[in-house]
Chains A and B, each alone.
Chain A
């Protein structure tokens, strides 16, 4: 069974601080996606990483896919209150063939205070 463990589970910080969220698995994934979910809404895709070692930047957010494609991280620089939300990583359910099924991580709930 493929599992994606995220850490930390909860994170409460002040505006301006930096933070890193981790997404780990013992399984290899073809690709990993990161979503952000705000209260009362569905998750929204932030980025997809597909190559081992890949780094993608989205303004103050930096995403990295591990060399072995088993883990990923999300780093936020100078957090803002608008970054508050639930961050979810998600990976392909199967490596051996293309599928649209995603396994979602356990989630990291981020609260940024002014």
Chain B
């Protein structure tokens, strides 16, 4: 199956660390990419591949993969990090699949 699963919501205290996970069989073979989406805005790529952060994305965003689970970690979460986070991965056929998204609340 090429489905991806994510926790619906997580919360983190200001300045603390939060890890968002994405699980699926495709992640055993291909890397996830992660997108931040704030209300009323288009998604924004924040991490991809083995260890890639687009220009302009703070280094408090990092990613990792272990077996069938990809993780996006925000170290020292800021108020502006409150958003929905979506993971994405391709499968063997080249189709792309999104996880359902995780709503991150910064307390």
A binds B: no
